[in-house]
Amino acid sequence: MGGRIPVLSGLANFWNQENTTLPLSCIVWLVGSMAGFYYFTFVDDNILWRIRIYTVRMVVFSPSVVYVLAKGLKIEQKL
């Protein structure tokens, strides 16, 4: 479920974007969403909230990867 975070941090390191806090914020979002996902799985069995959490997580992660790729391509274009 968190497979995009290594990709995100690897791309950020490849284009020397170490000062970006995007991978760290995605890690925090992953931990928070996993806590909510497990809560609505084991404590309060509610599939609607699990779908909402998963959808929001994918909506956050996908633009994050696109942002890092776009910024990296701008760096490559300048070189």
**Structural domain of 9:** 4-78
Domains held by the chain: number: 1
User: Is the pLDDT reported for residue 75 higher than 70?
Assistant: yes
Q: Name the residue with higher pLDDT: 3 or 43.
A: 43
C-alpha to C-alpha distance for 32 and 54, rounded to whole angstroms: 11
User: Is the model's pTM score more than 0.75?
Assistant: no
What is the number of alpha carbons within 13 Å of residue 21 lying toward its C-beta?
Answer: 3
Q: Which residue has the tokens 């000062």?
A: 19
